[in-house]
Structure formats: C-alpha cells, structure tokens
C-alpha cells in the first residue's frame, strides 16, 4: 500500500488571479434544496428545535437518505435538530447545469437563511465536505462550526472510478431497464463491489409515467459527467486571503487517501482552530465505522466544561 503522504495526486499551488477571484465571488442562481428533518425526542436545554441545528451534506452520487441513520443518532445524542439535505443535482433537489462548489455553497447558504437556522454546524462528506468548507470560508457568519469528513481544502484529481461509474449508469439508462436486478447485471462489468453498486443504484427510480416501467437515475448523468474534471478542485488557493476562525473538525479514514499528512499544514492555515480525528476506515467512513464517527462528532459538538 502506498504511503498516505504520496497516495493523493495534488496539483501544484497556483497564484490567485483576478479571474479566479471573480469566479469565487460569482453569484449563481440557487436552487431550493430537498431535505429530511430529524428532530430530537428531547432537545437539550437551551437547544430547542432549530437552535444550533446540524446541516448534513452527502457526497457525490449520494443523497439525504444515505445519512438518515446517523442523523437520527446525532439528533438523539446531541439534542439538536439535523437537516439532512440533497445537494443540487442529487436526490430530490432540482437539476442545474452549474455543478461546482461555489454554486453548491450558495444553495446551502440560502437554505440556512430560508429556514432561519441559527448558528448551525455544517457536516459534509467528500463532495459535501468541500461544499461545506467553501461556505464556511465565504460566509463564516452563517455557521458556528464545521465538520469535514474525509476531504481537504486542496485541488486533487478525482479517482477514475467516478468516470467509469458514469459510463455504466449511462449504459443502464440506454438499456431501458425495468428492474434493479437488470441494472445491477450491467453495472457488474464497471464495478465489482456489491456495496458500491448498491450505493449507485440507490439513485434509480421509476419516473411517474403510467405507460412506462423504465427506470432512470435521479442524478443528471450528463451534468455530473461534465463536472467531474473540476470536482476535485477547491475554489480557494491562498489561506492568507480567507480563513474560517471558528471551530472545525476534520475526520479522515486511516485507509483513505483523501487527507494525506502533507495537507495538514494547509488545513491549519485555512482553519486555524481545527482538530483532526482518524477513524479506522476507508473513504466511506460514516457507513464503515459509524460508532467511531459518532463519538468524534459528539465529543466535538458537546459543550466543553
């Protein structure tokens, strides 16, 4: 196994140009985000309902339903409401041709304002982590804290697996399958792991057309396919220009390559009050080791004596 420090292919540091600055300030048209609200049976004292809630963001090809179980557990253990959301072009949220972290962060910022959420904590996994980091740096007054799950504020190449998944999912749609078993049979030639295939096929649904039983993916494959080359990027390059001065927790999988040791100093420059927790798991650490993840989040968000 390659050492953690060399496993991730990082881009060379780039100078922040005026065009990049303009891009980061660009105001995209936002979309209303679908969500599930998980409320605690017994809100903690001073934390009723919408006070200091959690906003939970999934990764690429995921949705709010992937975080359903852990959201209920965190709501119970922390006495906080948890909003598990669908990012744009995922789950039940609207589709939009712009799929980048600036646009996703703008959506979540509007969501926080529209629902009048006070001092929320953002939790994001993978793609959702970079969206959360982007929002924390662009609108730090909107949130109280950040939890980034297995991602870092750097430019990094996405694994080629994602492009292969898109090809497989496009073949499934062109085959006009009517059963998930048919889709799984096609996807086997693109991905041997049953767990990953089930995760991807969780996006399949039957559109409401009475005359057809053909299943389609909720994820707009053409939009996501075009966005893949940039989803490894991070909008901010220079921590001297922008920082998030509030508490931040970075949780990484010990068997994952997304947060190598060499990027830890850069995390500290963007997020000077960060803490780092290693969880014995791969990139999908929330599902692989939910108890270790739960303990890390609860300890971070519990009131300090």
- C-alpha distances in angstroms, 29 versus 150, 183, 211, 262? 28, 34, 34, 36
Catalytic residue among 38, 90, 99, 283: 283
Q: Give yes or no for residue 6 having a pLDDT over 70.
A: no
pLDDT digits (tens, 9 = 90+) for 150-167: 999 999 887 778 999 999
pLDDT digits (tens, 9 = 90+) for 245-268: 999 999 999 999 999 999 999 999
Supply 93's token pair: 């949220």
Catalytic residue among 93, 126, 136, 145: 126
Give the per-residue pLDDT at 213: 85
Mean pLDDT, residues 108-119 = 97
Tell me whether residue 90 is one of the annotated catalytic residues.
Answer: no
Closest CA to 125 of 54, 59, 33: 59
Mean pLDDT, residues 270-290 = 96
pLDDT digits (tens, 9 = 90+) for 27-65: 679 999 999 999 998 765 554 434 689 999 999 999 999
Give the per-residue pLDDT at 92: 96
Give the per-residue pLDDT at 41: 86
Torsion of CA 61, 64, 65, 70, to 10 degrees: 110
Tell me whether residue 283 is one of the annotated catalytic residues.
Answer: yes
Closest CA to 260 of 1, 59, 14, 10: 10
**DSSP annotation string for 278-305:** EESS-TTHHHHSHHHHHHHHHHHHSPP-
Supply 96's token pair: 């939009």
């Amino acid at each position: 196994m390659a050492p953690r420090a060399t496993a991730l292919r990082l881009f060379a540091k780039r100078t922040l140009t005026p065009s990049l600055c303009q891009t980061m300030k660009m105001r995209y048209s936002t979309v209303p985000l679908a969500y599930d609200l998980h409320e605690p049976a017994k809100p903690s004292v001073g934390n009723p309902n919408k006070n200091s809630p959690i906003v939970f963001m999934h990764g690429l090809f995921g949705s709010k339903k992937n975080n359903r179980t852990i959201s209920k557990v965190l709501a119970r253990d922390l006495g906080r409401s948890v909003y598990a959301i669908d990012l744009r072009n995922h789950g039940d949220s609207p589709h939009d041709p712009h799929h980048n972290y600036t646009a996703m962060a703008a959506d979540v910022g509007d969501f926080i304002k529209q629902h009048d959420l006070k001092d929320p904590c953002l939790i994001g996994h993978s793609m959702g982590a970079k969206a959360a980091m982007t929002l924390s740096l662009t609108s730090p007054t909107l949130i109280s804290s950040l939890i980034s799950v297995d991602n870092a504020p750097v430019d990094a190449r996405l694994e080629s697996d994602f492009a292969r998944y898109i090809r497989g999912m496009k073949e499934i749609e062109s085959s006009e399958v009517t059963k998930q078993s048919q889709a799984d049979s096609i996807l086997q030639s693109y991905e041997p792991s049953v767990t990953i295939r089930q995760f991807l096929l969780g996006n399949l649904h039957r559109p409401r057309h009475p005359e057809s039983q053909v299943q389609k993916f909720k994820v707009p494959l053409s939009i996501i396919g075009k966005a893949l080359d940039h989803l490894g990027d991070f909008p901010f390059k220079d921590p001297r220009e922008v920082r998030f001065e509030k508490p931040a927790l970075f949780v990484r999988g010990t068997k994952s390559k997304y947060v190598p040791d060499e990027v830890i100093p850069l995390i500290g420059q963007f997020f000077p009050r960060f803490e780092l927790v290693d969880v014995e798991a791969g990139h999908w650490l929330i599902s692989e080791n939910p108890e270790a993840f739960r303990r890390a989040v609860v300890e971070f968000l519990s009131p300090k004596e």
